[in-house]
Amino acid sequence: MHALLKMITGTFFSRISGFLRDILLFSMLGASMETSAFLIAFAIPNLFRRLCGEGALSAAFIPVFSKRYAQHPTTAAKFLNIFFSKFGVYLGVSTLCVGVFLRLLMRGISCSKWYVVCELTTLMLPYLWFICNAALLNGTLNVLNAFAITAFSPILLNLTMILGIACCRLYATPMQWVMVLSLSVVIGGFFQWILPKGQLKRKGYPVSWCWEPDEGFTEVWHLFVPSILGVAIYQINALCGRLFAYAIDPTSVSFLYLANRFLELPLGLFAFSIISILLPKLSLSIAQNDTQHTHQLLHNHIQLLQLLLIPSAIGLACLASPILNVFFCWNRFASQSVEQVVPLLRIFTIGLPLFGLTALFPRIFYAHHEAMIPVKISFFTFIAYLISALGLSHLFQVPGLVWASVVSNGVQLWLQIRSLQNQYPNLKVSYQSLLHIPWISNILLGVFLVFINRQIPWSYNKLHDTLYLGGVISAGLLIYGLGLLTLERKYFSLLQPLWKRYLQKR
């Protein structure tokens, strides 16, 4: 729980700095074509961040490194250097090839909006190398029970991008602004790489060049390559959604992005923090053949995940309009633009618990060194998304793309549970187990928020609405907490270790 508290604290501040970055970005650029082009280009390094930082690379590397660390600690440092050296070279060559391909592709593009996307993507390509290698180092730190650097490192990217936005004032055109922002992403990636590298050195694991054969590298590679689609399906769907939206209306990407950003706040704060803590523990428990502890560990984390995500979804759905107006209604991003985001966010919240669970379940397979099952599931999920997106976007335009994400994640969850039941029956994962949630507390929270939202005279005055919003959120948290404490104590007990750790640190 101490590690989880560090992850949640770091993730909270990284999300806050990310929101500040987005507020400044939309305030300066509004919902323009240049903004949409930058967001699509930025989605590509974000995809790789999820692939590596919270996804396939960590999911493949951590079980192998954990096993090496548990059985032969003296060889773990050498294995890290071998893997870092080889992966860095292969990734560097791949990044260079992608850059050359994009430059060649740009010569044949006549449409200006797609040319801008390719140009900004090319500028941000070096970030891929930094963030993938940083993910490898952060995964190692997690195994060594050092979680703070992993949680706080995204703040560096957000701060450099905020500085980049400030530097944009030196230039005259929106195109120059987004190019400066793209370069700031690369600089932020460098800092995200150098920070865990220094922390590992202080932990007694200095990273150095070592090119020797090691069966561990092959094992990680065999897990990593096929699992790419399995872990990143949410981000792949999000990227495809932005491309579809860009084709429908170049300015609509901004609306889709903002709705997705508010969804990622609870996902990053709770889901990915819980998953980052769970994977090393799950891998060690499986390596020690402790079936009972593995089962208990998994189900506790599933319940904790739903305990946090479901009230988050209720809060976002009920307070979508005032939240968006308080945070993003500035300068060029007017209230009319904000209101176009509200229905998208409300649709996204329906799938919020699904997104968290479908991100967690693949880790069970990877902890067992089983990569192909999540890949097959994700392939069918991706097909379901494409079919849903093409059909629903034709009927409902951009909201149809959001519904397609919810539908495809429902399909993914169903396939994951079926596979877990067949593959690992001792873990006792079932649809019924997912229904063990604090129903009464969530219903009380929802009724309160719906009622109070209708009573408050939202005026679109920043100070007035901010004070009201803060009071409503605080009251909602209090009602939910009291509901757990008085009516559903068995769920409240899951939060007690986290709360005690917080009080001890205070």
* Tens-place pLDDT, residues 425-462: 887 788 887 888 889 999 999 999 999 988 888 776 78
Q: Using one digit for the tens of pLDDT, what is the confidence trace for 102-117?
A: 888 888 777 778 888 8
Contact by Cβ (8 Å): 32, 174: yes
User: Quick one: pLDDT at residue 503?
Assistant: 44
- Between 3 and 215, the more confident residue is 215
Six-digit token pair at 55?
Answer: 């996804």
Contact by Cβ (8 Å): 230, 362: yes
Average pLDDT over residues 238-262: 86
**Tokens 């428990």 sit at which residue?**
285
Contact by Cβ (8 Å): 81, 136: no
- What's the half-sphere exposure (Cβ side, CA atoms, 13 Å) at 98? 19
For residue 490, being part of any structural domain is answered with: no
Q: Whose CA is closest to 254, among 44, 34, 43, 31?
A: 31
For residue 503, being part of any structural domain is answered with: no
CA 160/CA 132 separation, integer angstroms:
18
CA 269/CA 7 separation, integer angstroms:
8
Residue 498 reports pLDDT greater than 60: no
Q: Whose CA is closest to 361, among 419, 277, 440?
A: 419
DSSP string, 308-320: HHHHHHHHHHHTH
User: Quick one: pLDDT at residue 2?
Assistant: 60
pTM exceeds 0.85 for this model? no
Cβ-count burial of 293 within 10 angstroms (0-12 exposed, 13-18 middle, 19+ buried)? middle
The 10 Å CB-count burial string (b at 16+, else e) for 91-121 is: beeebeeebeebeeebeeeeeeebbbbbbbb
Question: In the structure, what pLDDT confidence band is assigned to residue 185 with cuts at 50, 70 and 90?
Answer: very high
CA 322/CA 315 separation, integer angstroms:
11
For residue 79, being part of any structural domain is answered with: yes
Residues with Cβ < 8 Å from 476, sequence gap 6 or more?
Answer: 311, 315, 445, 448, 449
User: Quick one: pLDDT at residue 347?
Assistant: 95
Q: Using one digit for the tens of pLDDT, what is the confidence trace for 35-59?
A: 889 999 888 877 776 666 556 677 7
Per the prediction, the chain carries an average pLDDT of 83
For residue 398, being part of any structural domain is answered with: yes
Q: Whose CA is closest to 87, among 153, 43, 145, 131?
A: 131
Question: What is each CA distance from 268 to 147, 151, 298, 444, in whole angstroms?
Answer: 15, 10, 19, 25
Amino acid at 15: R
Question: What is each CA distance from 162 to 17, 22, 23, 398, 437, in whole angstroms?
Answer: 9, 9, 10, 29, 39
Residue 177 reports pLDDT greater than 70: yes
Residues with Cβ < 8 Å from 12, sequence gap 6 or more?
Answer: 269
For residue 448, being part of any structural domain is answered with: no
Six-digit token pair at 317?
Answer: 């759905």
Q: Using one digit for the tens of pLDDT, what is the confidence trace for 54-86?
A: 566 777 777 788 878 777 777 777 888 888 888
User: Quick one: pLDDT at residue 120?
Assistant: 92
Instruction: Return the percentage of the chain with pLDDT > 70, whole number.
Output: 91
Question: In the structure, what pLDDT confidence band is assigned to residue 328 with cuts at 50, 70 and 90?
Answer: confident
User: Quick one: pLDDT at residue 502?
Assistant: 43
How many independent structural domains does the chain possess?
A: 1
Average pLDDT over residues 310-329: 91
For residue 194, being part of any structural domain is answered with: yes
Contact by Cβ (8 Å): 153, 134: yes
User: Quick one: pLDDT at residue 499?
Assistant: 53
Note down the domain range covering 242. Answer: 2-437
User: Quick one: pLDDT at residue 478?
Assistant: 93
Angle between helices 398-423 and 352-367 (to 10 degrees): 40
Give first-to-last CA distance, the chain, whole Å: 15
Contact by Cβ (8 Å): 224, 57: yes
For residue 483, being part of any structural domain is answered with: no
Q: Using one digit for the tens of pLDDT, what is the confidence trace for 201-235?
A: 888 777 778 788 777 778 887 777 766 655 566 67
Any idea what DSSP says for residue 331?
T
Instruction: Return the percentage of the chain with pLDDT > 90, whole number.
Output: 23
CA 408/CA 237 separation, integer angstroms:
9
Residue 463 reports pLDDT greater than 60: yes
Q: Using one digit for the tens of pLDDT, what is the confidence trace for 125-166?
A: 999 888 888 877 887 887 777 777 777 778 888 999 999 988
For residue 285, being part of any structural domain is answered with: yes
